[in-house]
Structure 1
Amino acid sequence: MTRLAYQYVVLRCVPRVDREEFLNVGVVVYCQAQDFLQVAWDVDADRLRALDARIDVDQVRDALRFVEGVCAGDERGGAAGAHPIGQRFGFLKAPKSTVIQPGPVHGGVTTDPARQLEHLLDCLVG
């Protein structure tokens, strides 16, 4: 089995930046060796509303669908989706002041990036 290096960021929903509270809602995994860039996400509306009762959960889901488009390199990702895969990951891992923010970049090795993504989603979001 070939061990492949990968990087990942956890996507955080930050309903109110002034309170510095967040909820992990997704994970983006990038494996350069396999041209792999995917996101997996799960939005728990009740937990988000516990942080801010006024949060627009549909807007959070729309933002995560945008991330899907960037990863896929399709029209859902707008102009960012048109760039090479490494630049798309760079765009997704860059700090933002929006409701969806990436955490720090982490790395590891795996034999199966897709399975690693599901594992990270279960451990860090679910």
Structure 2
Amino acid sequence: MVIPERKNQVAYYYGTTHCDHGYERYIEPGKEVLRKRYGEIKKEEYFFWDEASGTDGNRKEFRRLISEIQAGHIHVVVTRDATMIARDWKQFFEFMQTCDKAGVDVVCIREDRDAQKQYTCVKQFVKEYFGREWVL
């Protein structure tokens, strides 16, 4: 959760494939969406970048980011969209539940593929349809 009075730990997470090298093109749009959401905030920025498929559950930086979130070192994650986090539902929900439990906001550059909105929608569906909270 972003709190204006403190120095917020911002993690930018991007993944690319062997065909699409580098995450540099996402840096400025990520910073801009963060500014639009929260205004000017005090922050320390960290970059997590994997050159791997979004279906690979053992992506090194993805796993490191989850560990940093669990340790309480990250307050907000900025990424391109939900599929950048994971293209596998189980991995996506593992990540989003980790953020949810830690109070970490997830901000996406592409609003039409917003991870937080997708997670909230599916969580609500599971609760209404199955009568319980989502459990992996």
- Is TM more than 0.5 here? no
TM-score by length of 1: 0.31
TM-score by length of 2: 0.29
Structure with the higher fraction of residues in strand conformation: 1
